[in-house]
Amino acid sequence: MIQRRHVLCCSAALSAGLFTGLDARAGGWRNPCRAALPAELAQHPLLVQAFDDIDPVALWDMHAHLLGTGDSGSGCTVHASMQQWWHPVEVLRRKVLLNAACVAPDAASVDVAYVARLRALASDFPSGARWLLFAFDQACDDRGDVAPQWTTFHVPNTYAAQVAAASPERFGWVASVHPYRHDALERLDATLAAGALALKWLPSAMNIDLRDARCRPFYERLRARRVPLIVHCGEEKAVTGADREAYGNPLRVRAALEAGVTVVVAHAASLGAALDLDRRSQPRRAAFDLWARLMDEPAWRGLLYADLSAVFQVNRRPTVWRTLLQRDDWHARLLHGSDYPLPGVMPLYDPAGLAAEGLLDEAAVAPLRAIRDHNPLLFEFVLKRSVRSGTARLHPLVFDTRRLWAGRGYSALATGGTTR
């Protein structure tokens, strides 16, 4: 059975970071959910300088999750276990995510409160900055039937499209369609016609083998329409076993690349391990290293990208941090993303730890924490603009995320136009 703790790409990070005593770190457990930034913080040099060399209109957050319970008629669902006291870890995860997104326990509607908070956070950014909201399809079994028992969260494409259409100046949306569904291509076409900017798969949790023949028509369509495929690779821990974990192996991404698809590997596969399928003995290696190998293969230069969501969380290795900062030859292929709502899960980020590694000025720690109490999205952006390894920093191009869609026929969207 697919392990639910892998779901939401983010939940991997949650399980790795949340239950291991990290709550003892400064800053506490709970997101204080303060309101808009006070003026003195909004004018703090660290924050002001973070926007130097950044064109807000090109600043698209590649990786933001929509979540809901369906209480507004959105069609969103969460697995029953997240409400059942005899599943304390699942229940805690739901509470943590809702707190990260500042959805009060007594909110009249979880769906509505989630989007309202996201809009409020966005309003602290200069106009033009946008967030790509992820739909999340249900898992399917090998026959292509929906597998509710494996589906922790379901966020319908229609809902993501609807939320984006209500605030086109702030939001775009990313579709999720399981390629094994009996009507998979029809669904894919409908989402593309409705203005989806990309397609997102989480293979290990959704049960998608990137080499399965049913993916091929998808690859053809995505290549022809020049639509990027966002794939979550890696896992949270080097746990051997379940076949589906193997589906998160970055090397499997070659199947899509060989078909000419533009692929964005979420989180640069920065968590977990996978088998090195290029070696006869198939040793286990860091998923990040396998992704790095693909990045250095000349054949994928115009096709393979990664998003930098979640990579500076406490559960990543310092060598990942340093490599991403120092490999400036990759920077034109790295894309800003936040993995919202995870920046609001307090134990997952530790600016003091980055400072101790020499990657952040000590003087930046306190203002970053203060920003985060008000706006985790702004915190995550300023943090990534502030980290450095020696003189190496993330190139401003990393934050010109819109460029991925340049020449892909999305000119209306590039200026915050309609979703079509």
Kindly state the smallest distance separating residue 358's Cβ from Zn ion, in Å: 28
DSSP 8-class letter at 397 = G
The residue (of 9 and 311) whose beta carbon lies closer to Zn ion is 9
Chain residue at closest Cβ approach to Zn ion = 9
Residue 201: φ, ψ to 5°: -125, 145
Question: Is residue 66 within the footprint of Zn ion (CB under 5 A)?
Answer: no
Interface stretch with Zn ion, choices 5-13, 98-106, 139-147, 368-376 (CB under 5 A)? 5-13
The residue (of 12 and 22) whose beta carbon lies closer to Zn ion is 12
Contacts (CB under 5 A) with Zn ion, residues 316-345? 339
Q: Where are the beta strands (DSSP E) in 192-235?
A: 199-201, 229-232
Kindly state the smallest distance separating residue 45's Cβ from Zn ion, in Å: 31
The residue (of 9 and 227) whose beta carbon lies closer to Zn ion is 9
Distance separating alpha carbons of residues 312 and 268, to the nearest angstrom: 11
Distance separating alpha carbons of residues 303 and 254, to the nearest angstrom: 10
The residue (of 9 and 177) whose beta carbon lies closer to Zn ion is 9
Kindly state the smallest distance separating residue 43's Cβ from Zn ion, in Å: 31
Selected from 10, 13, 286, 294, the binder of Zn ion by CB under 5 A is: 10
Contacts (CB under 5 A) with Zn ion, residues 109-128? none
Kindly state the smallest distance separating residue 339's Cβ from Zn ion, in Å: 4
Structure tokens at 32: 């204080």
| Total residues interacting with Zn ion, rule: CB under 5 A | 3
Question: Is residue 9 within the footprint of Zn ion (CB under 5 A)?
Answer: yes
The residue (of 309 and 386) whose beta carbon lies closer to Zn ion is 309
C-alpha distances in Å from residue 279, one per residue of 99, 192, 293: 44, 38, 13
Kindly state the smallest distance separating residue 112's Cβ from Zn ion, in Å: 22
The residue (of 10 and 303) whose beta carbon lies closer to Zn ion is 10
Distance separating alpha carbons of residues 326 and 390, to the nearest angstrom: 9
The residues facing 264 across adjacent strands are 230, 305
**Residue keyed to tokens 């900055």:** 129
Kindly state the smallest distance separating residue 343's Cβ from Zn ion, in Å: 11
The residue (of 10 and 359) whose beta carbon lies closer to Zn ion is 10
What H or E segment, with its residue span, contains residue 63?
strand 60-65
Kindly state the smallest distance separating residue 105's Cβ from Zn ion, in Å: 24
| Residue from 407, 270, 246, 255 nearest 330 by CA | 270
Contact partners, residue 388, CB within 8 Å, separation at least 6: 325, 359, 360
Amino acid at 274: A
Residue 116: φ, ψ to 5°: -65, -45
The residue (of 11 and 386) whose beta carbon lies closer to Zn ion is 11
Contacts (CB under 5 A) with Zn ion, residues 205-264? none
* Dihedral sign, Cα of residue 289, residue 197, residue 7, residue 179: negative
Kindly state the smallest distance separating residue 10's Cβ from Zn ion, in Å: 4
CB–CB of 251/288 below 8 Å? no
The residues of the shown chain that bind Zn ion, judged by CB under 5 A, are 9-10, 339
